[in-house]
């Protein structure tokens, strides 16, 4: 195989330009490793005249990504436009129909339409690779699909949105509120055009749905991910959680349960001294647990030109080397439809509430928890100058249902002021 | 491809039995993922009558691993006997000559004879996979060879001998000396038959030589690894290093320098709060740095039945899926012979010495360092009841040569009692 691998790149934003730079800068290295030259035949982007800081004059331009995807001189269509609908999806479908392999960084598309695309690719005898769609530069798709293929996966967890982790860790480190850090992220360009994709947890949930499909041999099912963003996390909760030995992370968790597949992307507490607890700033981390390997932890940059382009190049090199694999690691037609296990397995919870300064208030709270079958592991009540006192409780393992009964009962008393905060504690 | 992949396993120790168990327990899962059954045709071990806790009655037995490796009903020869010479090497060569692919966990063999074996495999059109040879359950060979193939690798580092890390972290945590923990490891079965493979750093250096070959496209060259074990690390150094904000690790580092390829496996200091510094017990960690990806950190169990078998199965699944790759990621005949860069790039160093309680003693030390061109970043002198006082120095970046000049000069004075300890500080 000494014929060049010819690629067409649609989308010349940060990642697309990063890919162009690597292919140009490391041409010799890539050829030595894959045994053949990797060449760019043509590119496509909205604005052909924009200065992107790198010469594109050697490549043909296509204004239409579908035209790019179906060119005779393109073996691999590299989709870096993004978006779960429209141009990206059309172009990928056109590429597969025209007998091209596809490399994409498009997590939304795969989380939502991954099953249909995988079936299309399979029928066409083509492959779709998407290392860059999950956790940026960390080769986690490869680790899970190939390296750990001998494992029955028992749990996949990840902090996979760098912006959320930046906000949460800076709230604690700098004592700033959520809004101040949200504004800072907007100024720094850390937010998607629709910021809810980041802070609402949607982007990270897309990634989780993809990992779950590979891990458990199930059809990707983004709609089944229980979703909660970080918008309501307060500095007080971050500080109180820290005081109890925890950090708050937007953590994705997927695992099989007797009632179906649990998939959730929600703020939860992890021990401060765990690998997840110590993850700072925009870095991503994925934890994979299997029956044989026990636990593997992967950490790296979750975004940025170089790291994301590195992941795209990993896929391109695989294809250049003839390494071909079913989209989610096994035939798409064999992927099962998992029932969603909506509220997860029992877990300990962190509770914070403001208790009225009345005799018997704490006894009332304890009694409500006891009646709901929720037992208390640790409790702290803080000194105060006001009419209410902050109370922190860490429960033993309980179901969310039992906890909801207690939370409901709290609101019917006159001893708990305002709603209680309840966050799951993930055992890691 | 619905024909079964037929394997023969030579070596039925912990790992071999782990592989048998997974293939039996997860037959359906492996078939779903690879598209074909994975079956064991025959096995080989020294003692056929030994009870290994798992039934082997369904497999043919071969007393001679070469006979096993060349059987007509074996597609992949799985070598789990170990040892850089003798039976393992003979059987692998026989397997390649007979047109079989090879999966092995044998780090010594690959570090020492990897180049010749890779050339043999290439000439025969066969592949050798060895995920289990480095860092146990962590899929690091795959991450480096494939996932990060788009990167010019700038540094690879790793804590890759769990026994050494167990000893070093327990010295600090439990305040025990090296000898007590060495004895404990012997009792727990954590040591190789020749313990120098572990505590002398040889085992970890084998792994480093393999990673360096992949990372830098060079022929594996174990002899060029600068090697130093942990036998001389004292509790006092561990405590003093901690006091200065560091931990001592047996850390392997490989990186290209202007003078050649630096490969060293030596105790050195890393910041306490870094991922490497926080690595506890027998867990392994590999850090890969590339021009595009920046830094990826992989952590997981470095040994044990399940994790090592997981890595072996990763390779077997690759072969079942038709994923085939050159041994060190590119044609063996194209690997370069790197000149060894013996003493590495400049680095900060940690120095500990006992200073005589004489006027001008510290001035003398400072003046010797200054004359050698070594500048002091931080210094601590401790109170004492004896005739000498412990002094700790962290230098600015310096060459080992300049430092050796100073160490030599110390020994010619009457103000430094006994030899000074000098350990490199690795920037991570």
Q: What pLDDT, in 10s, does the model give residues A87-102?
A: 999 999 999 999 999 9
**A331 touching B, CB under 8 A?**
yes
ipTM associated with this complex:
0.96
User: How many Å apart are CA B292 and CA A311, to the nearest integer?
Assistant: 9
The pLDDT, as a whole number, for residue A291 is 98
pLDDT, averaged in runs of 10, over chain B (428 residues) = 91 97 98 97 92 92 97 98 96 98 98 98 98 98 98 98 97 96 95 94 98 98 97 95 95 95 97 94 96 98 96 98 97 95 86 90 93 95 80 95 94 90 94
Q: Which residues of B62-76 are buried (b: 16+ CB within 10 A; e: fewer)?
A: beebbebbbbeebbb
**B301 touching A, CB under 8 A?**
yes
**Class of residue A14 by CB neighbours under 10 A (exposed 0-12, middle 13-18, buried 19+):** middle
- Residue B386 Cα distances to B354, B393, B417, angstroms: 10, 20, 12
Which of A29, A217, A314 shows the shortest C-beta gap to B32? Answer: A217
Contacts of B217 in chain A (CB under 8 A): 29, 32-33
User: How many Å apart are CA B65 and CA B313, to the nearest integer?
Assistant: 20
Q: Which residues of A272-286 are buried (b: 16+ CB within 10 A; e: fewer)?
A: eebbbbbbeebbbbb
The pLDDT, as a whole number, for residue A47 is 87
Pairing, β A349-356 against β A416-424 = antiparallel
Which strand ranges, in their side-by-side order, compose the sheet holding B416-424? B376-381, B388-395, B349-356, B416-424
Task: Tell me which H or E stretch contains B38.
Answer: strand B38-44
**B362 touching A, CB under 8 A?**
no
Tell me which residue of A278, A254, A257 sits closest to A144, measured CA to CA.
A254
Distance from CA of A39 to the nearest CA of B (A): 14
Q: Catalytic residue among A89, A100, A107, A207, which?
A: A207
**B142 touching A, CB under 8 A?**
yes
User: How many Å apart are CA B352 and CA A221, to the nearest integer?
Assistant: 58
The pLDDT, as a whole number, for residue B124 is 97
The residue of chain A with its CA nearest to that of B31 is A330
User: How many Å apart are CA A70 and CA A72, to the nearest integer?
Assistant: 6
- Residue A320 Cα distances to A26, A311, B110, angstroms: 15, 14, 26
User: How many Å apart are CA A331 and CA B421, to the nearest integer?
Assistant: 59
Inter-chain residue contact A150 with B291, CB threshold 8 Å: no
Distance from CA of A140 to the nearest CA of B (A): 9
Tell me which residue of B238, B236, B166, B242 sits closest to B199, measured CA to CA.
B166
Inter-chain residue contact A298 with B297, CB threshold 8 Å: yes
Distance from CA of A313 to the nearest CA of B (A): 5
User: How many Å apart are CA B407 and CA B422, to the nearest integer?
Assistant: 9
Inter-chain residue contact A146 with B314, CB threshold 8 Å: yes
Which of B152, B307, B317 shows the shortest C-beta gap to A293? Answer: B307
Contacts of B309 in chain A (CB under 8 A): 150, 292
Inter-chain residue contact A322 with B318, CB threshold 8 Å: no
**A294 touching B, CB under 8 A?**
yes
Which strand ranges, in their side-by-side order, compose the sheet holding A38-44? A60-62, A38-44, A5-10, A76-79, A101-104, A128-129
User: How many Å apart are CA A123 and CA A118, to the nearest integer?
Assistant: 9
The pLDDT, as a whole number, for residue A403 is 95
Which of residues 251 through 290 in chain B touch A, CB cutoff 8 A?
Answer: 275, 278, 290
Contacts of B300 in chain A (CB under 8 A): 293-297
Given the structure tokens 């059954």, which residue do they identify? Answer: B37
Contacts of A275 in chain B (CB under 8 A): 275, 299
Inter-chain residue contact A330 with B146, CB threshold 8 Å: no
Tell me which residue of A266, A272, A13 sits closest to A164, measured CA to CA.
A266
Say if residues A425 and A351 touch (Cβ distance below 8 Å): no
Which of A22, A293, A322 shows the shortest C-beta gap to B301? Answer: A293
The pLDDT, as a whole number, for residue B426 is 95
Cα-to-chain-centroid distance, residue A116: 21
User: How many Å apart are CA B149 and CA B197, to the nearest integer?
Assistant: 31
Distance from CA of A35 to the nearest CA of B (A): 7
User: How many Å apart are CA A371 and CA A367, to the nearest integer?
Assistant: 6
Say if residues B127 and B324 touch (Cβ distance below 8 Å): yes
Integer Rg of chain B from CA: 24
**A316 touching B, CB under 8 A?**
yes
The residue of chain B with its CA nearest to that of A327 is B33
User: How many Å apart are CA B99 and CA B70, to the nearest integer?
Assistant: 8
User: A386 falls in which pLDDT band (50, 70, 90)?
Assistant: confident
Distance from CA of B227 to the nearest CA of A (A): 28
User: How many Å apart are CA B425 and CA B428, to the nearest integer?
Assistant: 9
Q: Which residues pair with B347 in a beta bridge?
A: B398
Distance from CA of A328 to the nearest CA of B (A): 9
Contacts of A310 in chain B (CB under 8 A): 148, 150-151, 290, 292-293
Cα B121–Cα B123–Cα B128 angle in degrees, nearest 5: 15
A207 assigned to active site = yes
How many Cβ atoms are within 10 Å of B46's Cβ, its own excluded?
Answer: 12
């Amino acid at each position: 195989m000494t014929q060049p691998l010819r690629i067409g790149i649609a989308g010349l934003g940060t990642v697309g330009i990063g890919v162009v730079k690597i292919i140009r800068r490391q041409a010799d290295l890539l050829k030595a490793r894959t045994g053949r030259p990797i060449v760019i035949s043509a590119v496509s982007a909205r604005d052909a005249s924009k200065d992107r800081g790198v010469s594109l004059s050697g490549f043909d331009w296509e204004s239409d990504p579908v035209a790019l995807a179906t060119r005779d001189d393109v073996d691999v269509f590299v989709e870096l436009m993004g978006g779960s609908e429209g141009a990206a999806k059309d172009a990928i479908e056109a590429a597969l129909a025209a007998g091209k392999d596809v490399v994409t960084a498009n997590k939304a598309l795969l989380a939502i339409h991954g099953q249909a695309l995988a079936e299309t690719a399979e029928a066409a005898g083509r492959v779709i690779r998407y290392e860059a769609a999950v956790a940026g530069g960390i080769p986690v798709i490869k680790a899970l699909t190939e390296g750990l293929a001998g494992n029955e996966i028992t749990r996949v967890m990840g902090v996979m949105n760098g912006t959320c982790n930046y906000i949460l860790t800076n709230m604690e480190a700098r004592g700033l509120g959520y809004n101040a850090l949200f504004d800072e992220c907007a100024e720094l360009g850390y937010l998607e055009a629709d910021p809810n994709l980041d802070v609402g947890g949607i982007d990270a949930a897309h990634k989780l749905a993809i990992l779950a499909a590979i891990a458990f041999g199930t059809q990707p099912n983004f709609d089944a991910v229980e979703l909660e963003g970080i918008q309501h996390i307060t500095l007080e909760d971050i500080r109180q959680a820290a005081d109890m030995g925890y950090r708050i992370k937007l953590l994705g968790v997927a695992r099989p349960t007797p009632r179906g597949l649990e998939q959730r992307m929600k703020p939860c507490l992890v021990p401060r001294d765990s690998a997840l607890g110590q993850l700072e700033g925009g870095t991503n981390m994925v934890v994979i647990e299997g029956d044989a390997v026990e636990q593997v932890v992967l950490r790296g940059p979750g975004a940025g030109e170089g790291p994301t382009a590195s992941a795209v190049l990993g896929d391109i090199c695989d294809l250049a080397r003839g390494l071909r694999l079913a989209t989610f690691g096994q035939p798409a037609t064999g992927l099962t439809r998992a029932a969603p296990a909506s509220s997860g397995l029992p877990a300990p919870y962190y509770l914070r509430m403001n208790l009225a300064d009345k005799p018997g208030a704490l006894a009332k709270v304890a009694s409500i928890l006891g009646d709901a079958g929720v037992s208390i592991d640790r409790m702290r009540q803080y000194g105060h100058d006001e009419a209410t006192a902050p109370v922190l409780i860490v429960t033993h393992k309980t179901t969310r249902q039992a906890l909801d009964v207690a939370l409901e009962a709290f609101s019917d008393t006159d001893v708990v002021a305002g709603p209680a905060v309840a966050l799951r504690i993930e055992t890691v």
